Amino acid sequence: MRHLVFALAWALPAAIASAQDGKAVYDTHCAACHQPDGAGALGLAPPLAGTLGKRMAVAEGRKYLPGIVISGLAGKMESKGVIYEGLMPSWQQLSDGELAAVLNHVLNTFNAAELPAGFKPIEADELAAVRAKKPTAKELRGWRAASQ
Ligand code: HEC
């Protein structure tokens, strides 16, 4: 029992810190285009709210989110019936931990209702794996299509 208490006391502040980091990264680097509430902006950037949770149910979706923040993407993208044609910058200057935190923030804050049961947060390791073999735009579009 004492071990469990120690384990919780250790894990909880870490979880809170990474949730806060994720919001800070989002507000600094993502909100200008995707908006503070993830609603997106017509003609600028697609929504990140209510559109990503279901993708976490399949492996392609789990690679797609790390992939798009590492590689960036430009061109036409349809979301909720609207075509966006803009530039999603690459965020490879941010660390694996920062990118995992911002993706978990986007998923847990803006997509909580559609996350699959038993969803496990994205780990820094998954960012590292994608960074080691950066996906092409074609691969990213394929993963997006496969995880709708
Ligand atoms: C300069 C504006 C801009 C900024 C800043 C930006 N994005 Fe994007 N983002 C876009 C655009 C534009 C697209 C669509 C790309 C396309 O048309 O191919 C996009 C697409 C995405 C998608 C895919 C959405 C979907 O429906 O498939 C995700 C996820 C995403 N961005 C996350 C982020 C995160 C996380 C950040 C901050 C680290 C960020 N974006 C910062 C413009 C931006």
**Long-range contacts from 42-46, C-beta under 8 angstroms, 24+ separation:** 42/82, 43/84, 43/86, 44/84, 44/86, 45/84, 45/86, 45/88, 46/77, 46/79, 46/80, 46/82, 46/84
Evaluate: CB of 45 within 6 angstroms of ligand 1.
yes
pLDDT at 19: 67
Q: Which residues make Cβ contacts (< 8 Å) with residue 38, sequence separation at least 6? A: 47, 48, 49, 106, 109, 110
pLDDT at 47: 98
Q: Which residues make Cβ contacts (< 8 Å) with residue 29, sequence separation at least 6? A: 91, 94, 102
Evaluate: CB of 95 within 6 angstroms of ligand 1.
no
Amino acid in the structure at residue 90: S
Tell me if 113 sits within 8 A of 53, measured CB to CB: yes
Number of residues that this document lists for the chain: 148
pLDDT at 59: 97
Evaluate: CB of 110 within 6 angstroms of ligand 1.
no
Amino acid in the structure at residue 40: G
pLDDT at 97: 97
pLDDT along the chain (148 residues), means of 10: 58 63 97 98 96 98 98 97 96 97 98 96 97 98 97
pLDDT at 63: 98
pLDDT at 133: 96
User: Of all protein residues, whose CA lies closest to atom 21 belonging to ligand 1?
Assistant: 88
Measured in Å, residue 40 CA sits from the centre of ligand 1 at 9
pLDDT at 9: 60
Gyration radius from the chain CA atoms: 16
Evaluate: CB of 122 within 6 angstroms of ligand 1.
no
Measured in Å, residue 26 CA sits from the centre of ligand 1 at 11
The number of the ligand 1 atom at minimal distance from the alpha carbon of 77 is: 17
